[in-house]
């Protein structure tokens, strides 16, 4: 199982999203995702998300650790994603080589292509202030079940 980070950088009522359209053989091709990526050896989740944010956006962030999302898939490698949000950042935004960075209004998130499970953790981020655990199970690109804090929902 691979370890990754994901961060939603906030500015008012918008999140900075990465529209993944530049990388070849990208499992996120065409979808909007947050900022983040894979751990380097010996990195903590905090160190990884700060580094990835700087590499992908040019911004220095102050992340808030919000939850763990476990992805189980019959098509892709299973993943343990450490989820962060960020309201404090500095620096100048750069052009990302993995896709196009776009500020998306929170009210418009349901209008853009994302993984089905992303809509669930956006809802959790908005409704909960405590740390949560979310498990998402996919068959291909279809979400077939999920649980929150160990309780099966679907």
* Domain coordinates in residue numbering, the chain: 2-152
pLDDT tens digits, 51-103: 999 999 999 999 999 999 999 999 888 999 999 999 999 999 999 988 999 99
- Residue 23's pLDDT band (cuts 50, 70, 90): low
- Contacts of residue 42, defined as CB under 8 A and 6 or more positions apart, other chains included, come to none
* C-alpha radius of gyration, the chain, whole number: 15
Categorize the per-residue pLDDT at 28 as very low, low, confident or very high, splitting at 50, 70 and 90: confident
CB-based burial, 41-77: b 16+ in 10 Å, e otherwise? eebebeebbbbbbeebbebebebeebbebbbbbeeee
- Weakest mean pLDDT among 4-8, 120-124, 132-136: 120-124
Architecture of the domain spanning 2-152: Alpha-Beta Complex (3.90)
Average pLDDT, the chain: 93
Higher pLDDT, 20 or 25: 20
């Amino acid at each position: 199982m691979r370890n990754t980070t994901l961060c939603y950088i906030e500015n008012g009522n918008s999140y900075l999203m990465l529209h993944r359209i530049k990388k070849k053989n990208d499992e996120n091709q065409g979808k909007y995702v947050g900022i983040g990526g894979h751990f380097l050896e010996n990195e903590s989740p905090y160190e990884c998300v700060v580094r990835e944010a700087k590499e992908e956006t040019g911004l220095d962030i102050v992340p808030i650790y919000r939850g763990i999302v476990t992805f189980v898939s019959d098509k892709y490698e299973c993943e343990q994603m450490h989820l962060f949000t960020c309201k404090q950042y500095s620096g100048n935004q750069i052009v990302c080589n993995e896709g196009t960075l776009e500020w998306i209004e929170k009210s418009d998130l349901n209008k853009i292509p994302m993984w089905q499970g992303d809509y669930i953790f956006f809802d959790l981020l908005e409704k909960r202030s405590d740390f949560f655990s979310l498990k998402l199970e996919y068959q291909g690109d279809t979400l077939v079940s999920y649980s929150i804090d160990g309780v099966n929902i679907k």
